[in-house]
Amino acid sequence: MENRRRRGAFVAVVIVGVLATAGIAFAAASSTFTFNFAPNTVPKKTFEKGGLRSDLLTSYTNPGNSNPGGAVDRTQLFLDKYWKINPNAAAKCSAGQLANQTMKGAMAACKRAKVGFGTATATANGAFQINGCVLLFNGKLQNNKPTLLVFTRVQASNPSAITCDSPSTNTQGNATILLKGVLNGATAPYGKVLDVNHITQAATFPLEDFDTKIKKDKYFSARCKAKSKKWKSKTKWTYNDGTTLTDSGTQKCKVKH
């Protein structure tokens, strides 16, 4: 009888431990990813210019750069092997030209290097939502690899009100976040991966949503060559506690005749 009681107590302890571990897992950050390339009707053999819209969304249960799992520190956006980025299709801008600039200042310094735009949000450690505007610039080569400078102008106060219209004359916002993405090689079915690292070093508050579109002349292009007639893309997030999460998706394409 005593042994049975001991075994019962042991099982109870194990169950409590499992439930506690599950609670920790459920409390972790979660992220989702959606994308769309347009136009989706493109040639099979040659690349046609277009635009890629991507939306990276993260939610936290305990947001904060100093809280384990409370912030994204790295994102890796994997691009289909039948997509192409041509860094020579736009002028190149340096990070120094964009640091601490307003949107107006960034456009004055690097207008010819602008390859995209969008919106972003961050969380003031759960106190309120911070809204921002994103400008994407073709960066200078790093170790012979193309780079993308992600310029984000935010209103880091409550209420956080900012509009993203007319960036060439827009001086709204009171803080600038500047991130750098490096374009590295990737294995099939992907061709390249845009690696944005050390995010928490540049952003005071955890970033939640990046909804952006890359489009400028022939900077981004695609062809529909896969037998499945589908493009594939995915994003891998690394949080500030070292844990990771990956979300992927597909988009149908059509051959242009």
What is the per-residue pLDDT across 81-116, written as a single tens digit (0 to 9) for each? 999 999 999 999 999 999 999 999 999 999 999 999
Q: 203 near 177, Cβ under 8 Å?
A: yes
What is residue 212's predicted lDDT score, i.e. its pLDDT?
98
What is the per-residue pLDDT across 187-244, written as a single tens digit (0 to 9) for each? 999 999 999 999 999 999 999 999 999 999 999 999 999 999 999 999 999 999 999 9
Strand partners, 132: 120, 154
pLDDT surpassing 70 at residue 9: no
Q: What is the mean pLDDT of the chain?
A: 91
CA 121 – CA 177 distance, rounded (Å): 12
CA 181 – CA 193 distance, rounded (Å): 9
What is residue 26's predicted lDDT score, i.e. its pLDDT?
40
Q: 160 near 131, Cβ under 8 Å?
A: yes
What is residue 243's predicted lDDT score, i.e. its pLDDT?
97
Query: Which position has the token pair 């070292």?
Result: 242
Cβ neighbours of residue 225 closer than 8 Å, sequence gap 6 or more: 44, 45, 82
The whole model's pTM is what?
0.89
Buried b (16+ CB within 10 A) or exposed e, 186-222: beebbbbbbbbeebbeebebbbbbbebbbbbeebbbb
Please calculate the CA angle 137-89-189 and round it to the nearest 5 degrees: 85
What is residue 7's predicted lDDT score, i.e. its pLDDT?
41
What is the per-residue pLDDT across 154-198, written as a single tens digit (0 to 9) for each? 999 999 999 999 999 999 999 999 999 999 999 999 999 999 999
pLDDT surpassing 60 at residue 23: no
Strand partners, 245: 237
Q: Is 223 exposed, middle or buried (0-12, 13-18, 19+ CB in 10 A)?
A: buried
pLDDT band with cut points at 50, 70 and 90 for residue 28: confident
